[in-house]
Amino acid sequence: MLKNHFSRVGFILAAAGSAVGLGNIWKFPYITGEYGGGAFVLVYLLAIVFIGLTVFLAEAVIGQNAQADVATSFIKTSKSKNKNWKFAGFMIFTGLIILSFYSVVLGWILNYVFTSFGTLPTEASAAGQAFETLITKDIGSQIVYHTIIAGSVIFIVLKGIKAGIEKLNLILMPLLALILFGLLIYALTLDSFSTAVSFMFSPDWSKIDGNALLAALGQAFFTLSLGVGTILTYSASLPKHENFVKSSVMVAIVDTAIALIAGLIIFSFLFEAGAKSAAGPGLVFISLPVIFSGWGMLGQIIAVSFFVALVFAGITSAVSMIEPSLKFFIDRFNMTRKKATIMCGSIFYILGIIALLSMSSAYGGSLTFFGKNAFDWMDFITSSVMMPIAAIVTCIFLGYFVDKDMLKQKFVPNSSLAVFNAWYFLIKFLVPLAIIILFLNKLGII
Ligand code: PHE
Ligand code: NA
């Protein structure tokens, strides 16, 4: 057994744990609702297969072959071995910034786990008010919950890849699957289940415009944990003889399945209560608690299970956001894991505090810059600027600065020549073009 490496199953579980997160259970349902269901789901599936999976394979092949941190892996994989490729390592900071506000949001969810044991709100207005109060007034609770989440993340990654991350996923992923399975079974008993199925799978093309395409593409990246060095870093701990193509496909399938299942569960609940499908980001925090409150004791159990599932899904993603930074500082600067964890942990913890203060009515004003508060800035800079740049760099790198025959030798034994040729064409032409369009559009240039 290799020291501090994943087993094959461990890798699949950990990468799936990273991929399956708030992106699947919170974000996917609400953007599917906003873009009208079926047609958006179809576009999203195409984006996963042709673009998401292509970039996933790209990060996996670089990581598994170099078996190093992000910066070193780019240098080692390049034809020229030019040291400047180390700058591709900038993407590790993206994960740290995402983690800072992801931890705050996970803190809200943890808060909802506890409040779900009490009385649930019966009116949307009361539920909206409760959510608003938590975010704009209750700085104390937010700091406590953010601290619990950040502390747990730090505690787990301190133990390393094998004893920390692999073990966490070994425990939480089956539990998550179990809870979602239970919720799905319950959703199946509702009359609205069939309405949810037809909402999600019968396409209404009138809702699809440029914005919907770009939202699908952005979601494909976020949901597969791409553009932050996570998949590259995890793959660096995948033993060299393991089949990275098969493993990558498996992770993409698991992530997609969970997003679709979460969508079916949530839309069944929403339609059963006669609620609207386009409730936006407040969907799980405002619409769902009101629905659960109408179901008595069972509703309470469902509420608690649902928010626990979200915490489990989120924690396994959170640990994967910090690991690229840790590996970077451990491998390139000879830091101990402890020192790297304390340093990176402090950075994201403090950024998280700034993010949550920036939404409060007391401090929001002084933490707002150019019309966006610090929380929204961190979200914008990462998902609209840093992640797309990282993805473009990765595609251009593999398509133009890496030896093609070397790549072919990695792919063919694990898949086939046809798969390699298709992947190479996508990575060299189609995917960079799609991302550049996405990028310019997000910046408001086109
Ligand atoms: N894929 C995770 C989700 O869907 C988010 C994530 C992004 C995790 C980037 C790691 C890195 O919630
Ligand atoms: Na995901």
Cα of 222 vs centre of ligand 2, distance in Å, is: 6
Cα of 124 vs centre of ligand 1, distance in Å, is: 29
Ligand 1 binding pocket (C-beta < 6 A) is: 18-19, 21-24, 95, 98, 222-223, 225, 228, 230, 317, 320-321
Pocket probe for ligand 1: among 53, 320, 381, the residue whose CB has the most ligand atoms within 8 Å is 320
Placement of tokens 């930074």 in the chain: 325
- Average pLDDT of the chain? 93
Give the confidence band of 361 by pLDDT, cuts at 50, 70, 90. confident
Is the pLDDT at 131 greater than 90? The verdict is yes
Q: What is the pLDDT of residue 280?
A: 72
Alpha-carbon distance of 8 to 4, in angstroms, equals 13
Is the pLDDT at 287 greater than 90? The verdict is no
User: Which-ligand-closest: CA of 48?
Assistant: 2
The mean per-residue pLDDT over the stretch 47-66 comes to: 97
Full-model pTM: 0.94
Cα of 189 vs centre of ligand 2, distance in Å, is: 27
Nearest CA, atom 10, ligand 1: 225
Q: What is the pLDDT of residue 2?
A: 57
What domains can be seen in the chain, in order of their start residue? 8-442 (1.20.1740.10)
Cα of 43 vs centre of ligand 2, distance in Å, is: 16
Is the pLDDT at 355 greater than 90? The verdict is yes
Alpha-carbon distance of 114 to 256, in angstroms, equals 29
Placement of tokens 């670089």 in the chain: 62
Cα of 225 vs centre of ligand 1, distance in Å, is: 4
User: Which-ligand-closest: CA of 102?
Assistant: 1
Give 67-91 pLDDT, tens digit per residue: 999 999 999 999 999 999 999 999 9
Residue 190 CB contacts under 8 Å (≥ 6 apart), including other chains: 268, 269, 272
Cα of 395 vs centre of ligand 1, distance in Å, is: 20
Give 195-248 pLDDT, tens digit per residue: 999 999 999 898 888 888 888 988 999 999 999 999 999 999 999 999 999 999
Residue 397 CB contacts under 8 Å (≥ 6 apart), including other chains: 74, 77, 78, 85, 88
Pocket probe for ligand 1: among 153, 223, 317, 326, the residue whose CB has the most ligand atoms within 8 Å is 317
User: Which-ligand-closest: CA of 251?
Assistant: 2
Backbone angles phi, psi at 27, to 5 degrees: -75, -45
